[in-house]
Amino acid sequence: MISWMTLAGWGKAILGFGLLILVHEMGHLLALKWRGFPVFAFSLGFGRPWCRLRWQGTEYRLGWLPLGGYVLAEDPAAPVAAAPRGAPRPRDQFLVALAGPLANFLLAWALYWGLIGGVGLPQPIPVVASVLKHGPGADAGLHAGDRVVEMNGVRVRTWDEFVRLIQINGARPARVTVEREGVRQDLTVTPQTEGGRCVVGVVPVQAPRQPVPWARAAGLALVRTITEIRQVVAGLVGMLFAAGGGEVAGPLAIIDHISQAAVSWWAFLALLAVLSINLGVFNLLPIPPLDGIRMVLALLQAIRRRPLEERILLPIYQWGTVGLGLVFLLVTLKDLAGFF
């Protein structure tokens, strides 16, 4: 039977995932407005709008499904001859495409700033907050609340030490000693490889530190954001070029991970910051229909000093979109299989 805690976790995860997409689309909207291009509609949520408001030439909508939003630069119902046609310069195209990922990075910085200035930057400790389904930790019998005290006889005092010992051990069985309700137990955990690193499929408890002054917190938040961006880029490069490619999670698995990991509001916000950075970096990939390909095509157009022909653009977007759609379908099917 599904508990109210599980339902609340999924509800929080869906709203959080939708927020990341909404902020991304708002970046595009504001960039279009800034560069002086007309925007027909901007929707908060998907599905049939239940509320509409026209302001400064743009129709703002509220959809019944709160999973992000979208931007319509032209009226899809207008005749071709009547639809507004602009000839945006390559610089404008590049800036509008870049605005979405930048909005995600800005959101991450704002979340980190609020966390560091409000409760202190959460730091992981070697206590299990949640165990991911069908992972090595779940198979070994790890439970939420377990404190990791040793791995292969080596004392564990911090979460970083535990992560380091996992990498040293590799994808081999390891003896992990945990303290559960005051009693020590030895478990056998076999880490698995994901994206070039070994993981055990558990989320640590995040312990807040002492808040810092807001001015200093802004700088620390910027450093944390840049560090996370570098780590995501490095992990993505490692996943693309490492043998086997690692594990890829789809939207359902991401939402499920959020619902399991977000055991408190500040931990939930810290996780949203990380995911916002992941979404921003992912959209910079030069793959149709992501923002990265639009930036690359804008650069090519600037170099050629004339617009790219439709015979070039159409196959790129058609085959790229079909390929990306197939990837999302496969990872979604894999996510569904993991739930059963």
Whether residue 194 lies in the annotated active site: no
Nearest alpha carbon to residue 157 among 182, 127, 130? 127
Going by their DSSP bridges, the two strands 192-194 and 197-199 should be labelled as: antiparallel
Q: Where are the beta strands (DSSP E) in the chain?
A: 41-55, 58-72, 123-131, 147-151, 154-155, 174-180, 183-189, 192-194, 197-199, 202-207
Tokens of 51: 């509320």
280 vs 101, 186, 288, CA distance in Å? Answer: 4, 41, 15
On whether the CB atoms of residues 257 and 12 are closer than 8 A, the answer is no
Which residues make Cβ contacts (< 8 Å) with residue 273, sequence separation at least 6? 107, 108, 111, 112, 115, 225, 228
On whether the CB atoms of residues 134 and 336 are closer than 8 A, the answer is no
Give me the catalytic one of 25, 74, 150, 179: 25
Tokens of 130: 């949640």
CA dist., res. 146 & res. 132, Å (int): 14
CA dist., res. 106 & res. 236, Å (int): 20
On whether the CB atoms of residues 173 and 155 are closer than 8 A, the answer is no
Going by their DSSP bridges, the two strands 154-155 and 147-151 should be labelled as: antiparallel
- Residue recorded with tokens 């617009």: 307
Question: Sign of the CA dihedral 233, 238, 241, 246?
Answer: negative
Report the largest interatomic distance among the alpha carbons of the chain, rounded to a whole angstrom: 75
Q: What residues are annotated to the active site?
A: 25
